[in-house]
Amino acid sequence: MALGGKILTWYNNQWLEGNTPIIGAADHAAWLGSTVFDGARQFEGVRPDMMLNCQRIIYSAEAFGMTPPVSAENIFNICEEGCAMFKANAVLYIRPMMWSNQGSPGIIDIMPESTGFSVCIEELPMPEVGSFALTTSPFRRPRQDMALTSAKAGSLYANNGRIMADARARGFNNALSLDIDNYVAETASTNVFTVKDGEVFTPIPNGTFLNGLNRQRIIKLLKADGIKVHELPMIIKDFKDADEIFCTGNIAKVMPVQRFEDKEMKSTKLSNHARELYWDFALSKYS
């Protein structure tokens, strides 16, 4: 799936241009969904926390039962090499991927040693801030005994996709999804935070969603800036009553919410401050 402009793909020890075929029709991943991936970003010449993304795909692959054919350090070096092949000011989405080529004799489960690996780097602009609208999804997140929720697995994204599609069809950019106990988990593609009386609140990781790398980074930055951050079970009413809402994720890093359901948010002050803290961190540490 081509997302933006120029694409480079590392596969079989070489860099190739364009949307390179990497999975065969008979591969396990093509028909039974055995894929994991991760995503990092380059903007303004920096690639913040990219090693953490490289480490997480190793974890995701192992959680799926795969044997990773490369180390996190190998992945990091490949990504660095690929990014150097773009213009220095290019805005990039950096995506390492692993998948299973073969199933066991029982077909459905994978053969761990048949793991494939690739890195795809694409030019992809950062989303503009200013009109992000959020709703609530009718679709829920699976519990950890129902799906491989501890990994960044492609198989989870069919549900995420219908959450997003439903939100867009109703005129929103994204949607909160609940777990089976009626607590807010995250959106279709991001972790989520609220602001109330100058303090920040976010759903506590309970196994139904990933404790995102950008989520963790923002919590650390806010706390270091003297802002109280609370991780706790949250319900929809917490978002209806919020002074502000913002999302964190790889595509936009920090995105202030302008509208939740039919409520226009009166302020994005602390949300914008969280975004500024992230940019300051990224540019000061990685430039």
- Segments making up each domain of the chain, as ranges: 7-123, 133-286
Per-residue pLDDT of the chain (287 residues; tens, 9 = 90+): 556 689 999 999 999 999 999 999 999 999 999 999 999 999 999 999 999 999 999 999 999 999 999 999 999 999 999 999 999 999 999 999 999 999 987 678 999 999 999 999 999 999 999 999 999 999 999 999 999 999 999 999 999 999 999 999 999 999 999 999 999 999 999 999 999 999 999 999 999 999 999 999 999 999 999 999 999 999 999 999 999 999 999 999 999 999 999 999 999 999 999 999 999 999 999 98
Residue 100: φ, ψ to 5°: -100, 130
In angstroms, the CA 6 to CA 124 distance is 9
pLDDT the model gives residue 105: 72
Q: Which long-range contacts (CB under 8 A, 24 or more apart) does 180-186 make?
A: 180/140, 180/141, 180/142, 180/143, 180/208, 182/235, 183/233, 183/234, 183/235, 184/234, 184/235, 184/236, 184/238, 184/239, 185/140, 185/141, 185/209, 186/141, 186/210, 186/212
Single out the residue of 223, 176, 234, 224 nearest to residue 201, CA to CA.
234
- pTM for this one? 0.95
CB-CB contact of 193 with 268 (8 Å): no
pLDDT the model gives residue 279: 98
pLDDT the model gives residue 287: 80
Equal fold, 7-123 vs 133-286: no
Q: What angle do CA 48, 86, 60 make, to 5 degrees?
A: 45
pLDDT the model gives residue 3: 61
In angstroms, the CA 157 to CA 118 distance is 19
Q: Which architecture does CATH list for 7-123?
A: 2-Layer Sandwich (3.30)
Strands 259-260 and 133-136: parallel
SS3 of 29, please?
Answer: helix
Single out the residue of 85, 70, 91, 32 nearest to residue 250, CA to CA.
91
CATH 3.30.2230.10 fits 133-286, yes or no: no
Single out the residue of 175, 183, 222 nearest to residue 203, CA to CA.
183
Helix (H) or strand (E) holding 122: strand 115-123
pLDDT the model gives residue 104: 81
SS3 of 39, please?
Answer: coil
